Chain A
Amino acid sequence: MSKNLKTPKKGAGETLRELYEKKRRQSKASDSLVEGLVKSEVNEKQQKRSAIKHDMEL
């Protein structure tokens, strides 16, 4: 049965560790994600100010 089956490569665990680190280094946030997470607070404050202004006008 085993004639047709593959067996583990030597140093498989080490290679997988290297691949893990390589992939991790490739992570990069898109400009729009960073921009969103920076500006969302500004937007929230603007929305709150607008809501307060709106309430006062009423």
Chain B
Amino acid sequence: MILLFLRDLRSTLIVVTTIPLSLLASIVGLWLTGQTFNIQTLSGLALSIGILVDEATVCIENMHSHLAAGAKKHRAVFDACVETMVPRLLAMLSVLAVFIPSFFMVGITRELLFRCRWLLVLP
């Protein structure tokens, strides 16, 4: 989609690079919490792939807007990141807010969703 909308292969490459790195971070998180790869953790990872690229996409798109407005590359990158920082943080918190009810779950539901939840939050 980034390739389609921005028509820039380099930007796409940057956004795509964040996917394996984020997944790697979540695997480190798995390792630190003593979890294993199983149907629940893999479901969490699969669900998180879609939202992984959002942050980088917003950032890159804003860089292109600044570059199109005639800014120098370094300035465009800096301004784009500063401008989108708060919106990106709020977007992340909005996504994470979905999991607040899962902290109040009990019994088998809690057991089932516990791993899945962290695998969405970590990457």
A in complex with B: no
Interface residues of A (CB under 8 A from B): none
